[in-house]
Amino acid sequence: RPAAGAFVGEAPLTVLSRVFGYDSFRGEQAEIIDQVAGGGDALVLMPTGGGKSLCYQIPALVRPGVGVVISPLIALMQDQVDALRALGVRAGFLNSTQDLDERRLVEAEFAAGELDLLYLAPERLRVESTLAMLDRGTVSLFAIDEAHCVAQWGHDFRPDYLQLSALHERWPDVPRIALTATATRATHTEIAGRLRLQDARHFVASFDRPNIQYRIVPKNEPKRQLLELLRGEHQGDAGIVYCLSRASVEKTAAFLVENGIDAVPYHAGLDARVRAENQARFLREDGLIVVATIAFGMGIDKPDVRFVAHLDLPKSVEGYYQETGRAGRDGLPSTAWLAYGLQDVVQQRKMIDGSEGDAEHRRRLAAHLDAMLALCETVECRRVRLLAYFGQESTPCGNCDTCLTPPKSWDGTVATQKLLSTVVRLKRERNQKFGAGQLIDILLGRKTAKVIQFDHDALSVFGIGTELTEAQWRGVVRQVLAQGLLAVEGDYGTLVLGDAAGEVLGGRRQVALRSEPERPARAARGGK
Ligand code: ADP
Ligand code: ZN
């Protein structure tokens, strides 16, 4: 086994083949490695699976001293270090899962110059003794992994990341490389600013994942729709199913198992041992499905994940991209499938209204959600929209649902006017607000108990919407909500007029809506 520092001064390509067993660099890896190995700073934006790790591991090996890697993924440090050790690289880590003796051992290795790479949880840098330890040895570089965690705009913000700018003040001559797979223009700028990377070279890889087929469908019976997807296209494949709540994770996993599909749950409420075991099974076995909250997946490197399914709407395009990006790392055809419905929009708008934090924070959450909704409701190529979100121009891809079966759009102006008028009547004539269900019952002229109770059959708008079915109305309400013509208010999901509603009611604005595929007949259903 080579001693620490055995590769100092070697050519990066030699290290690539001798240590890692690969014969060529991918994408911009060679340029990035040269920049950092030569003592310069770098900011690397590269999609998941792009090969970010080598961008700091190789410079750490060819420069004298220890490469210090800051990573929030504490649960993965042991695996990363084991994988490196198996390749003969001297690596260690320090985080809160270790006891004092284990930490002392690693600190001693560091001081004795017996390490090439040291992984550190960001909170270790709050501890002065860690900083003093780094002073006693030689640091070859700082790699800041998952660098988007410094962005307060983002969805993974970690306060400990803010203090990483201090590294540069204390060790001005040590090169820094910040890496992330999440990068809108805004996040990119924020990372560079907060980490004071003003002299860094920026490397921005293409975010396109051409082997992933993006599909977003209206949600009516999510579990049955999921089962159809699995039976029809992904029999025996490994995949991840994301749900918003722990309860729906449990229910969905149980439903799949009842239907003879190998699935395990994963969420933060499970016992740590169960969680670790389920994750290990997923990595080890073929064709296992993990049903999970978004707690699952950061840093998971399983090449043959054939599909990622979302049963609930992700909160942002960044989140959606990152989660779907776990499919198809091996480059083979894979599916990113999302079912979303009216209830998702109502629920998320409610969550934003009720969230902690100031108006600015809520405004940001709302902007993230709106971008996600725009992606769901677009009649254009999904990939074009997705890449545009990351600042990249492209042409229709031919491998997403809207390219494969172009959605019809229809003039929904009159339907929208009817819906908005109903909201207006309830407010003006009765000083009432209601949710989508009651509005649709009124439009369809249904004399339900609740309609009779509130005397809503006496309204002039009662029964003015019979040209559409209930399912079509739900589609209209969802899209009108997504377009901001309606807004959700309060805890009960009641609907009020959005800012631009007046323009539609006044006939100054047309509303284009996407046609919904008709819901399949009950008899055609498989499973339970
Ligand atoms: P990221 O951190 O960007 O998600 P990784 O660094 O985990 O990606 O790399 C993804 C996979 O690609 C890993 O299995 C890695 O070994 C492999 N890989 C990276 N660079 C190369 C290369 N130049 N040649 C072959 N395989 C590579
Ligand atoms: Zn497309």
pLDDT tens-digit map of 34-58: 999 999 999 999 887 789 999 999 9
Burial category of 199 from C-beta neighbours within 10 Å (exposed 0-12, middle 13-18, buried 19 and up): exposed
| CB of 44 closer than 6 angstroms to any ligand 1 atom | no
Residue range 312-319: mean pLDDT, rounded: 92
pTM for the whole structure? 0.73
- Label residue 142 by pLDDT band (50, 70, 90): very high
Token duo for residue 185: 């223009």
Quote the ligand 2 centre to 207 CA distance (angstroms).
Answer: 14
Q: What is the side-by-side strand order in the sheet with 289-292? A: 212-218, 334-340, 307-310, 239-242, 289-292, 263-266
Q: Can you read off the two tokens belonging to residue 159?
A: 């306060």
- Going from the Cα of 395 to the center of ligand 2, the distance in angstroms, rounded, reads 8
Whether ligand 1 lies within 6 angstroms of the CB of 59 is answered as no
Q: Which ligand is nearest to the CA of 214?
A: 2
Nearest ligand to residue 381 Cα: 2
Instruction: Report the complex ipTM.
Output: 0.98
Q: Which ligand is nearest to the CA of 302?
A: 1
What is residue 188's predicted lDDT score, i.e. its pLDDT? Answer: 85
Q: Quote the CA–CA distance of 297 and 323 in Å, as a whole number.
A: 7
Q: Whose CA is closest to atom 24 on ligand 1?
A: 22
Q: What percent of the chain is helix, strand and coil (3-state, nearest 5)?
A: 45, 15, 40
Q: For residue 519, is pLDDT > 50?
A: no
User: pLDDT band at 155, cuts 50/70/90?
Assistant: low
Q: Among all chains, which residue has been given the structure tokens 């005397």?
A: 455
**Distance between Cα 399 and ligand 2 center (Å):** 5
> What pLDDT is recorded for position 299?
66
Distance (Å) from CA 41 to ligand 1 centroid:
21
How far apart, in whole angstroms, are the C-alpha atoms of residue 71 and residue 161? 10
Give the DSSP letter of residue 446.
Answer: -
How many secondary structure helices (H) and strands (E) does the chain include? 22, 17
3-state per-residue secondary structure call for 202-230: EEECCCCCCCEEEEEEECCCHHHHHHHHH
* Residue 523 in this model has a pLDDT that exceeds 60: no
Distance CA(181)–CA(48), nearest Å, equals: 6
- CA-nearest residue for atom 10, ligand 1, is 49
Structure tokens at 472: 């079509």
Regarding the beta carbon of 278 and ligand 1, being less than 6 Å apart is answered no
State the pLDDT at residue 69: 97
Instruction: Check pLDDT > 80 for residue 185.
Output: no
Angle subtended at Cα 318 by Cα 188 and Cα 352, rounded to the nearest 5 degrees: 110
- Report the atom number in ligand 1 closest to the C-alpha of 54: 6
Query: Could you identify the atom of ligand 1 that is nearest to the CA of residue 23?
Result: 24
* Model confidence pLDDT, tens digit, residues 474-485: 989 989 988 889
Residue 177 phi, psi (nearest 5):
-130, 125
Q: Which residues contact 105 (CB under 8 A, 6 or more apart)?
A: none
Ligand 1 center to 48 CA (angstroms): 9
% of the chain residues with pLDDT over 90: 68
Is the CB–ligand 1 distance for residue 48 below 6 Å?
Answer: yes
State residue 527's pLDDT score. Answer: 33
How much is the pLDDT for 483?
Answer: 86
CA angle 317, 407, 318 (to 5 degrees): 5
Q: Give the range among 181-185, 293-297, 341-345, 467-471 with minimum mean pLDDT.
A: 181-185
Distance CA 503, CA 140 (A): 61
The tokens describing 306, both together, are: 């054939």
Element (H, E) at 409: strand 409-411
In this structure, of 194-198, 233-237, 517-521, the range with the lowest mean pLDDT score is 517-521
Query: Which ligand 1 atom is nearest residue 16's CA?
Result: 23
How much is the pLDDT for 526?
Answer: 34
Burial class (CB in 10 A: 0-12, 13-18, 19+), 523: exposed
For residue 492 and ligand 1, the question of a CB distance below 6 A is answered with no
pLDDT band, residue 127 (cuts 50/70/90): confident
413 against 79, higher pLDDT:
413
Pocket test for ligand 1, best of 20, 46, 53 (most atoms within 8 A of CB): 53
Residue 420: name the closest of 487, 345, 374, 475 by CA: 487
Buried b or exposed e, range 128-163, using 16+ CB within 10 angstroms:
eebeebbeebebbbbbbbbbbbbbebbbbebebbee
- Strands (DSSP E) contained in 239-333 are 239-242, 263-266, 289-292, 307-310
Atom number of ligand 1 nearest to Cα 52: 3
Residue 430 has pLDDT above 90, yes or no: yes
- Atom 2 of ligand 1, nearest CA residue: 52
Check residue 382 and give its pLDDT. 96
Q: What is the average pLDDT across 302-310?
A: 95
Report which ligand 1 atom has the smallest distance to the Cα of 48: 4
| Ligand 1 proximity of 184 Cβ (cutoff 6 Å) | no
What confidence category does residue 59 fall into, taking pLDDT thresholds of 50, 70 and 90? very high
Q: Is the pLDDT of residue 109 over 60?
A: yes
Q: Tell me phi and psi for residue 130, to 5 degrees.
A: -65, -45
Residue 357 CB burial class (10 angstroms; 0-12, 13-18, ≥19)? exposed
Q: Is 54 in the pocket of ligand 1 (CB under 6 A)?
A: yes
Residue 377 CA, ligand 2 centroid: distance in Å: 14
Tell me the mean pLDDT in the region 84-110: 93
* Residue in the structure block whose two tokens are 């792009």: 50
Check if 52 has its Cβ closer than 6 Å to any atom of ligand 1.
yes
Pocket test for ligand 1, best of 15, 22, 145, 302 (most atoms within 8 A of CB): 22
Give residue 524's pLDDT: 33
- Beta-strand (E) ranges in 62-130? 66-70, 91-94, 117-120
- Residue-level pLDDT at 153: 66
Q: How far is the CA of 6 from the centre of ligand 1 (A)?
A: 22
Q: What are the phi and psi torsion angles at 47 (to 5°)?
A: -65, 160
CA distances to 171, 195, 346, 415, 424 from 512, rounded to whole Å, are 57, 43, 21, 11, 21
* Residue found under tokens 């978004």: 294
Would you say residue 517 has pLDDT above 80?
no
CA 519 to chain centre: 29
In the prediction, which pLDDT does 300 show? 78
Residue of 13, 26, 29, 207 to test ligand 1 pocket, by largest number of atoms within 8 Å of CB = 26
Mean pLDDT value of segment 387-392: 83
Q: Is residue 330 lining ligand 1, measured as CB closer than 6 Å?
A: no
Q: With cut-offs at 50, 70 and 90, classify the pLDDT of residue 521.
A: very low
Q: From the CA of 55, how far away is ligand 1's center (Å)?
A: 10
- Say how far apart CA 106 and CA 134 lie, in whole Å: 12
Mean pLDDT of 451-475: 95
* Region of residue 92 (phi > 0: left; psi between -120 and 50: alpha; otherwise: beta): beta
**Which amino acid is residue 136, in one-letter code?**
R
Q: Which residues pair with 512 in a beta bridge?
A: 411
Atom number of ligand 1 nearest to Cα 301: 7
Q: How far is CA 341 from CA 36, 140, 344, in A?
A: 46, 51, 5
∠ CA(384), CA(42), CA(27), 5° rounding?
50
C-beta of 49 in contact with ligand 1 (< 6 A)? yes
How much distance in Å is there from the Cα of 184 to the middle of ligand 2? 20
pLDDT of 520 above 70? no
